[in-house]
Structure 1
Amino acid sequence: MLRAVRTNPAHPDFQLLISRLDKELQSINGDDHAFLSQFNQTTDIKHVVVVYVDDQPAGCGAFKHYSSAEAEVKRMYTDPTFRGQGVATMVLNELETWAAASGYSACILETSIKLTSAVALYKKNGYKQTPNYGQYVGVSFSVCMKKDLKDDDTIKAVIATLAAIAVLLFFMIPQVSAQVTTQVEVTGLVEHPLTYSIDHLQGLKTFTGHDLKIVGAKGDVRKTFHTYKGISLKSILDSAKIVMPQPKEKGKYYIIVKGSDSYTVLYSWNEIFNNPTGTHVYLIFEENGKPITDDGRFVMICSNDNITGPRHVKWVQRIEVARLP
């Protein structure tokens, strides 16, 4: 089974994979390797994806800021053992989704003319060759490519309808095949990507609430928390520190909460930081005095909702900060 994880360059599995990548590139590029390797440093990279096959690190990729509109894809690699299984495509798609959510409208990249399989992969995924850019101008053995991501109107339409889709999924589709996760990742437009475990959360300032009912659209009570313990989403985001170069654009920022069953809920920045709702959204890890077991290890709830069911996220796996273009 393939699984993608968003992380940062310090992740040990990413470091392991790129060490293998560098050895392979040195063999392929020969005398050209010294020139190309200077552009493959991870110093300016903050967004990394690692894909696992049955919990084994199989492939990776990253992107970094190139311009206000373009993210540059870097460090794409699949271990030879796992090639031909869709690993590289999953890495690329995850990077593109992340880049679009971060406000970029296109992805660009450079590869070697000698890496014919890489060129074929990018073409298959919608990339088109362009004139060489930046440091690759005039480099005969470099191939530069670009892919336009979804246009602004499409992105806005998707964001506007995600919440409605999540509500429909809650009432129409049984939530199955979820995987219990032992940690929650905080990623996206944050200065400090975080990973929370149960032990970590227990060491923080927690909140204990009482008598919360999970209510469906017809008023049916699906579950009752006599007590629940957790940490507020607002405090999590404060610790991660949202990257917001232009504070006047607060209204463009939103928070995605996703479970391992793919159930997704959205909160706007204003809802969390400029509305009473923000003090009622919690990542909880204990219910009725005991660790959560039936719904994963982590659950996100909003106790301020009249109908609490649609924003009751079980098996919470990821909290991501994103921005409209």
Structure 2
Amino acid sequence: MTASSSTSITVETPLSEDMRAMIGELNTALGSLTPDEANYSMSAEDMDGPETTVFVARVDGRAAACGALHRHADGIGELKRFYSRPQFRGLGLARRILEHVSELATSEGLARLVLETGHNYDAARRLYEQAGFKECGPVLDYPENPYSVFYTRPLTAV
């Protein structure tokens, strides 16, 4: 990308053609790294509801990265579907989406954020750890397994 590239991050429907394509790429990538029994993918339809807010980063109008806040009971927000397309990696898009998710969760009064990620997803683990997430035991209804790593981070309401 060039210095004149235009980048935006907005809330979008997961049902658009380009979001469906990006979600398909994400599912393919995760499927190549994680056995089926430890792959907790969400389809575009799963993401299309009031409990999930999907953020999309666009570079010069092209869908480049995404991430979502999925709300659970007891003030828990879950990070879901974080992905940057290979040609857009290194631009800080996932970090910026994570900031948007965190701000939304805080403004809604959620108490904490949690997530499950793959044990071998090094870039994702670095992102979450740099953002203050701490490794923990299984969260929500995820089973413990050797392929998953769980993280949590408390939120402070504004």
Identify which of 12, 15, 21 aligns with 1:16. 21
Counterpart contact for 1:62–1:76, Cα < 8 Å: yes
Residue 69 (structure 1) aligns with: 75
Q: After superposition, give the CA deviation of every residue in 1:183-242 in whole Å (9 maximum; x if it has no partner).
A: xxxxxxxxxxxxxxxxxxxxxxxxxxxxxxxxxxxxxxxxxxxxxxxxxxxxxxxxxxxx
Q: Tell me if 1:46 matches 2:52.
A: yes
Where 1:84 maps in the other structure, the secondary structure is coil
Whole-Å separation in 2 of the counterparts to 1:47 and 1:54: 22
TM-score by length of 1: 0.43
CA distance, structure 2, for counterparts of residue 56 and residue 14 of structure 1? 10
Gaps of 5+ in 1: 156-325
How far 1:105 sits from its partner (Å)? 2.2
Letter in 2 for 1:36: A
Structure 1 residues 84-163: aligned runs within 5 Å: 84-149=90-155, 151-152=156-157, 155=158
CA shift for structure 1 position 48: 0.3
* 1:267-303, Cα deviation, whole Å (9 max, x unpaired): xxxxxxxxxxxxxxxxxxxxxxxxxxxxxxxxxxxxx
Cα distance in 2 for partners of 1:117, 1:38 equals: 18
How far off is 1:39 after superposition?
Answer: 5.0
- Structure 2: distance between partners of 1:68 and 1:46: 16
Residue segments in structure 2 that go unaligned for 5+ positions in a row:
1-5
For 1:56, give the aligned amino acid: R
Q: Give me the whole-angstrom Cα distance separating, in 1, the residues matched to 2:56 and 2:127.
A: 18
Q: TM-score, normalised by structure 2?
A: 0.85
Report the identity percentage.
26
Q: Aligned-pair distance for 1:96?
A: 1.2
RMSD over aligned Cα, in angstroms?
1.8
Say if 1:8 and 1:46, in contact at 8 Å, map to a contact too.
no
1:180-259 aligned at under 5 Å gives the runs none
Instruction: Please say which structure displays the higher CA radius of gyration.
Output: 1
